[in-house]
């Protein structure tokens, strides 16, 4: 028995499985990246107001708040995750096509909200499918998830080099990617529901995990971290352009994605050497340092170099966080556990962060295109360090780096 357990530790991912899961991750984030970064340029060309554009962007957070909890329950109890992924992405392709042909702000808003409700659950489903079939989540997931970052970079490169961002072309590209992923999903490894009829709703059971103190601390800190993360996504571009003098903001900000891509495969090494607690703490610390550098605002090279800290911020906190949830949640509610994590982070945290960051930026506005950026960035920096102190004081995690599944399709081949 001991020898069998030891052998399972060294079980490798079959190349066919790796190809399918990697393709899923690549397209999952190519769909998102193709339109999300440049949507404001297109809507501005349609003469949408700033508040209308902001409201449309906020639909993604609303979708992450309301949709994953229900889809997670369906995946845990009724339908296989890969078929659900296929249906959602094929439906999403149709909604994206409709969005690409709308010019009325109200119609665009409601259509964008429908798309957010369709797309948001697939973020948790893609993680759940991966974790269900990987022999060792901590060892194998980063090398799969890094293809998502590459997909985001490739989609943005295609948009930047060959498409007109002031037209609907990026939305049409995203629809095309969504069709491909919808079709690919039906060829993903079968991931049947693990919950049983008559049991408590999986999402409610996932919420029940918060009774465990360290799990509650982790989710609470994740919620806070995502609130301050919204400052980065919403206003770094404006800060780089108006305060630092960067000309090509979009390309400059891909420094963070390239760092994420390079560091993610090394995540298993750090988990094995440092353990989950200190990997998560390192990710949080990088956020605080980056915001502090932004607050100082000089020298130029240091500010630009600090964008690379996004690799540590995302990989060591969010990627590691998904692994932690997978380790701690019982098998029959893992999809709902991932949905709960997405709900608190991509959903509620990002929505509150968007509202809060906008108010903070307005509070520190001096004149048109002039802000007290030092005051703006100190707010999230202090928030990170307070959250880090709470995390270090109260979080306790076993020194384990992954979970070994017993799925027969994970046999080496």
Task: Kindly state whether residue 2 falls inside one of the protein's structural domains.
Answer: no
Please indicate, yes or no, whether residues 279 and 131 belong to a single structural domain of this protein.
no
Residue 250 above 90 pLDDT?
A: no
Residue 409 above 60 pLDDT?
A: no
Which among 120, 98, 119 is positioned nearest to 109, based on CA atoms?
98
Listed residues 192, 219, 253: the one ending a domain: 192
Q: What is the pLDDT of residues 269-306, one digit of tens each?
A: 999 899 999 999 999 999 999 999 999 999 999 999 99
Task: Kindly state whether residue 3 falls inside one of the protein's structural domains.
Answer: no
Please indicate, yes or no, whether residues 301 and 221 belong to a single structural domain of this protein.
yes
The predicted pLDDT at position 82 comes to 92
Please indicate, yes or no, whether residues 183 and 269 belong to a single structural domain of this protein.
no
Reduced to 3 states, what is the DSSP secondary structure of residue 112?
helix
Please indicate, yes or no, whether residues 172 and 206 belong to a single structural domain of this protein.
no
Please indicate, yes or no, whether residues 335 and 354 belong to a single structural domain of this protein.
yes
Task: Quote the tokens at residue 392.
Answer: 């270090």
Task: Kindly state whether residue 222 falls inside one of the protein's structural domains.
Answer: yes
Task: Kindly state whether residue 409 falls inside one of the protein's structural domains.
Answer: no
CA–CA distance, 271 with 253 (Å, rounded to integer): 27
Task: Kindly state whether residue 124 falls inside one of the protein's structural domains.
Answer: yes
Please indicate, yes or no, whether residues 31 and 134 belong to a single structural domain of this protein.
yes
For the ranges 55-64, 75-84, 131-140, 222-231, the lowest mean pLDDT is seen at 75-84
Tell me whether residue 9 is exposed, middle or buried, using C-beta atoms within 10 angstroms of its C-beta: 0 to 12, 13 to 18, 19 or more: exposed
Count of beta carbons in the 10 Å neighbourhood of residue 225: 27
Task: Quote the tokens at residue 245.
Answer: 């003098």
Listed residues 175, 192, 209: the one ending a domain: 192
Please indicate, yes or no, whether residues 122 and 206 belong to a single structural domain of this protein.
no
CATH of residue 240? 1.20.1250.20
Task: Kindly state whether residue 219 falls inside one of the protein's structural domains.
Answer: yes
Task: Kindly state whether residue 407 falls inside one of the protein's structural domains.
Answer: no
Residue 90 above 80 pLDDT?
A: yes
Task: Kindly state whether residue 230 falls inside one of the protein's structural domains.
Answer: yes
Residue 326 above 50 pLDDT?
A: yes
The total domain count for the chain is 2
Please indicate, yes or no, whether residues 125 and 268 belong to a single structural domain of this protein.
no
Count of beta carbons in the 10 Å neighbourhood of residue 407: 15
Listed residues 192, 223, 244: the one ending a domain: 192
Q: What is the pLDDT of residues 149-173, one digit of tens each?
A: 899 989 988 887 788 878 999 999 9
Which residues pair with residue 367 across a beta bridge? 370
Please indicate, yes or no, whether residues 274 and 350 belong to a single structural domain of this protein.
yes
Please indicate, yes or no, whether residues 323 and 364 belong to a single structural domain of this protein.
yes
Q: Which residues of 246-283 are buried (b: 16+ CB within 10 A; e: fewer)?
A: beeeeebbbbbbbbbbebbeebbebbeebbbbbbbbbb
Higher pLDDT, 45 or 117: 117
Please indicate, yes or no, whether residues 215 and 318 belong to a single structural domain of this protein.
yes
Domain carrying residue 252: 201-401
Q: What is the pLDDT of residues 380-393, one digit of tens each?
A: 999 999 999 999 99
Please indicate, yes or no, whether residues 306 and 357 belong to a single structural domain of this protein.
yes
Average of pLDDT values for 4-8? 40
CA–CA distance, 303 with 287 (Å, rounded to integer): 13
Reduced to 3 states, what is the DSSP secondary structure of residue 337?
helix
The predicted pLDDT at position 402 comes to 44
């Amino acid at each position: 028995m001991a020898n069998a357990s030891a052998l399972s530790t060294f079980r490798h991912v079959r190349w066919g499985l790796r190809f399918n899961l990697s393709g899923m991750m690549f397209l999952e984030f190519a769909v998102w990246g193709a339109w999300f970064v440049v949507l404001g340029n297109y809507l501005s060309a349609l003469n949408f107001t700033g508040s209308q554009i902001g409201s449309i962007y906020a639909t993604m957070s609303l979708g992450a708040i309301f949709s994953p909890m229900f889809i997670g329950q369906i995946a845990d109890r009724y339908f296989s995750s890969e078929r659900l992924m296929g249906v959602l992405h094929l439906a999403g392709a149709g909604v994206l096509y409709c969005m690409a042909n709308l010019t009325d702000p109200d119609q665009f808003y409601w259509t964008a909200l429908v798309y957010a409700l369709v797309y948001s659950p697939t973020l948790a489903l893609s993680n759940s499918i991966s974790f269900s079939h990987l022999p060792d989540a901590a060892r194998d997931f980063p090398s799969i998830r890094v293809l998502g970052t590459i997909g985001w970079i490739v989609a943005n490169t295609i948009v930047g080099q060959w498409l007109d961002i002031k037209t609907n072309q990026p939305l049409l590209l995203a629809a095309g990617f969504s069709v491909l992923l919808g079709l690919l999903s039906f060829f993903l490894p079968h991931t049947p529901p693990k919950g049983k009829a008559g049991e408590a709703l999986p999402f409610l059971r996932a919420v029940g995990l918060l009774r465990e103190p360290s799990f509650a601390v982790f989710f609470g800190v994740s919620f806070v971290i995502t609130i301050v993360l919204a400052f980065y996504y919403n206003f770094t571009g404006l800060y780089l352009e108006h305060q630092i003098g960067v000309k090509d903001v979009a390309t400059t900000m891909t420094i963070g994605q390239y760092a994420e891509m390079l560091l993610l495969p090394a995540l298993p090494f750090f988990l094995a050497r440092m353990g989950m607690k200190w990997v998560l703490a390192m990710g949080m610390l990088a956020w605080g340092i980056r915001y502090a550098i932004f607050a100082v605002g000089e020298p130029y090279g240091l500010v630009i170099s600090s964008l690379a800290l996004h690799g540590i911020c995302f990989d060591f906190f969010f990627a590691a966080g998904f692994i932690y949830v997978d380790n701690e949640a019982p098998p029959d509610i893992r999809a709902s556990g991932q949905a709960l994590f997405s709900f608190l982070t991509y959903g509620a945290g990002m929505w509150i962060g968007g509202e809060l960051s906008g108010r903070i930026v307005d509070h520190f506005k001096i004149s048109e295109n002039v802000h007290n950026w030092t005051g703006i960035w100190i707010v999230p920096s202090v928030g990170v360090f307070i959250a880090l102190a709470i995390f270090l004081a109260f979080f306790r995690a076993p020194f384990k780096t992954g979970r070994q599944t017993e799925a027969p399709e994970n046999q080496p081949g």
